[in-house]
Structure 1
Amino acid sequence: MMERPQGPPAPAPGPAETTPRPAASIDELLHPFAALLRESAGEHQVDYADVEPVVDTAAGLVAAGRAAEARHAAAEAGAGLARMAELDLPNVASRPQDWSGFGAVLPVLAGSPGAGASALAAAMADALQLAARCVLLIDAADPARSGLAGAASAEGPWLSPVSDQVAIRYSWRGHALLARLESPLPVITPSQVPPPPQWLPEVDPLHVTVVDIGHDGWRTTANPLLGAGGWLRRGTPAPRPILVVRPTRPSLRHAEQVLARLDPWISRGVALPPFQLAVTGAKRWPGGVTGAAGRRLDPLLDDALFIPHDSELEIGGVTDELVPDKVLAVVCPLLADWGLLPELGRSRSRKARR
């Protein structure tokens, strides 16, 4: 057998490059940056849902020749995860959450990208404040990607530090208290979101807390013991999670996979299944759409809440003004059925209600 011809000898190693070359693929970044993230987090577990956005951020920095900055960002993210885990990590997975200080808890989870969860959360908070309910609207999203970024006319003066990297700022949306994250970090992963007890303001009593979970449902449902997923934990009084979808087959397929990821936590008694399905941008199911629903989503289809399309809300998003009347008209009966609103009286003008 002929021997394979030998190529030229490898060049002797030279001095280290001062400017790292950009990675050829995300795979080249995944292992070193995931290792750096875990090293910074110490003994605390790091979920892949947290690794993925950190590696995505690092990829852009490395491509721009800012490798040192990328390594610093990964290290800071790992340290932030460790601090969050120390705040309220449950000793036992099955330990229920005490929700009594929050009143009725309504977590709103997007079943697919762009489903309209932020608009629904704002609509429920508006309906409650118009009925003189003391309501807390929580925006748990990464500030850079928040659907409630314009929900208050001005930033409130109340800042509650959670760690040296993350704080919660309280503002007013009309008469509703709005709580949002503030952080110098380039990205906030689901597990870096403060656990529910950290969001509780010194307001007594709170009638209802509406939570815009904000993060991708696929990432959020990976671990309902930490961060943004913590709003899906069972407890007393029992929260009513609301799953939001679009009236399309792809959206229902996405939502089915979100529920599949949450399924093990539900079966273990840690998390709650969706209490209500909301469909944004339609008055009824279009023909042929519901066939895309799987076995987990199917029981929610018949009682779905349909939120009609509104061009003002679609184009401008959630602003500091009340959501449009036709959206309020849909959510009010639902909240009344749940005992969260008084009997519906005669309607008042938007000017009078404002």
Structure 2
Amino acid sequence: MPLVGTACTPSEPEGVQVLENELALVARRAWRRLQAADVDAAVDAGMLAAAIKAVDGVRRPAFGEAAHAAAADVAAAAAVIQRQGLPPGAAAPVDWNGFGLVIPVLAGSPGAGASVFTALMADALQLAHRNVLLIDPADPPRSGLAIAARSDGPWLTKPHPQVHIRFSWRAHALVARLESALPVIAPGMVPPPRFWLPQGPRPEITVVDLGHDPWRVAAHPLLGAGAWLRRGTPAPLPVLVVRPSRPSLLHAEQVLARLERWVVTGAVSPPVQLVVMGAKRWPAGVAGAAGRRVCALLESAVFVPHDPELAASGVTGAVTPLRLRQAITPLLSRWGLLPQAARGWQGMKGRP
């Protein structure tokens, strides 16, 4: 029963504790094996619903009922989706062949530019006539690719009635984005990779934007969006994106330190490439701040120069600037992703 007989509100310490405990119990009823991160997310959803009702002047026990309903919805969605995927502790390598080469893009620090780099890579590859799938598993309000397609496509995959994957076109690249009407996206609500595979021709390259929450992904990469880092065949090529600053390198070192435990167990693939957004070279004294894990990636770092217009607008349906695509062309050529004729290609200056 939601807060029956208590004089507390969700904004008071006693009320917070009571309601959080109730919501955790509600969440666990959805599935006894529900992951702790999903339980926490369900509690967050319930607390948010209670706060909204309390602000609207709704009295007890109505705000408790709203909180219970929100927590139950999030937990149920996470439970259903997790039961359709591999067990979170599975150690077997993943067969990535249906996705072609998988390139997960991690942010080393907040606002590093992972979404921009993801769009740059997708544009450079699709304009060289490669079949590209661009995946965005972020919470919709936190997505850096929310308007990467000019319009939403009509194709939906529905792992759960309240969790959808929408497929849209960014010129010739296919964009797959997470959609949900629920107030909180639990890690377990992110559909397993198999749900992201589109119908029709299989992609040659799949680029995944993991920049929205690298800290949580690095702590538990076997649950939710982190599944794209799992080792498999062909081996994924994770990219770590940073800013040309000492704080960004310090943050990135901590992300790699978290991820290292999973790499050692053989569960996930480590980042193989460092990309520095917003600079042509390291500013004086910045590279020296790199820890030992980031240092291992410094020598091959790729620099993407600053673009004021893109920095102001973010990723839109317009093609990314040519000079930025040219900055990553040597990397794509080195990985064998661009044909020989495309290495000197000048690209299109307009929109894709």
By the TM > 0.5 criterion, same fold? yes
| Residues 26 and 59 in structure 1, CA contact (< 8 A), matched pair in contact too | no
Distance 1:220 1:135, change over 3 A: same
CA distance in 2, matches of 1:252, 1:323: 25
Q: CA deviation at 1:21?
A: 4.5
- 1:345 aligned onto 2:341: no
1:134-149 alignment, distance < 5 Å: 134-149=131-146
Q: CA deviation at 1:331?
A: 1.5
Q: Give unpaired runs (5+ residues) of structure 2.
A: 55-62
From 89, 103, 113, the equivalent of 1:106 is 103
CA distance in 2, matches of 1:25, 1:291: 48
CA distance in 1, matches of 2:320, 2:278: 14
CA distance in 2, matches of 1:218, 1:136: 24
Percent of counterpart pairs with the same letter?
Answer: 54
From 77, 84, 87, the equivalent of 2:74 is 77
Aligned amino acid, residue 345 of structure 1: G
- 1:88 aligned onto 2:85: yes
Which residue in 1 is equivalent to 2:286?
289
1:152-171 alignment, distance < 5 Å: 152-171=149-168
Which residue in 1 is equivalent to 2:259?
262
CA distance in 1, matches of 2:161, 2:227: 21
Q: CA deviation at 1:57?
A: 4.5
Which residue in 2 is equivalent to 1:44?
33
- 1:219 aligned onto 2:216: yes
| Residues 139 and 179 in structure 1, CA contact (< 8 A), matched pair in contact too | yes
CA distance in 1, matches of 2:197, 2:327: 28
From 12, 27, 30, the equivalent of 1:23 is 12
CA distance in 1, matches of 2:160, 2:125: 31
Q: Give unpaired runs (5+ residues) of structure 1.
A: 1-14
Q: CA deviation at 1:349?
A: 3.9
Which residue in 1 is equivalent to 2:57?
none
| Residues 164 and 180 in structure 2, CA contact (< 8 A), matched pair in contact too | yes
Moved more, 287-296 or 189-198: 287-296
- 1:63 aligned onto 2:51: yes
C-alpha offsets along residues 58-103 of structure 1, whole Å, 9 cap, x if unaligned?
Answer: 4444334144323322222211221121111248632000000101
CA distance in 2, matches of 1:314, 1:29: 44
From 107, 129, 133, the equivalent of 1:132 is 129
C-alpha offsets along residues 289-314 of structure 1, whole Å, 9 cap, x if unaligned?
Answer: 22332222210112111111111110
| SS in structure 1 of the partner of residue 260 of structure 2 | helix
CA distance in 2, matches of 1:33, 1:273: 39
Distance 1:21 1:276, change over 3 A: closer
| SS in structure 2 of the partner of residue 350 of structure 1 | coil
C-alpha offsets along residues 187-237 of structure 1, whole Å, 9 cap, x if unaligned?
Answer: 213331111111011232321111112431111122222210000000000
Which residue in 2 is equivalent to 1:12?
none
Aligned amino acid, residue 72 of structure 2: A
Distance 1:270 1:25, change over 3 A: farther
From 196, 201, 224, the equivalent of 1:199 is 196
- 1:32 aligned onto 2:36: no
Aligned amino acid, residue 347 of structure 1: Q
| SS in structure 2 of the partner of residue 221 of structure 1 | helix
| Residues 108 and 248 in structure 2, CA contact (< 8 A), matched pair in contact too | yes
- Larger-gyration structure (1/2): 1
| SS in structure 2 of the partner of residue 69 of structure 1 | helix
| Residues 140 and 214 in structure 1, CA contact (< 8 A), matched pair in contact too | no
From 114, 120, 124, the equivalent of 1:123 is 120
Which residue in 2 is equivalent to 1:299?
296
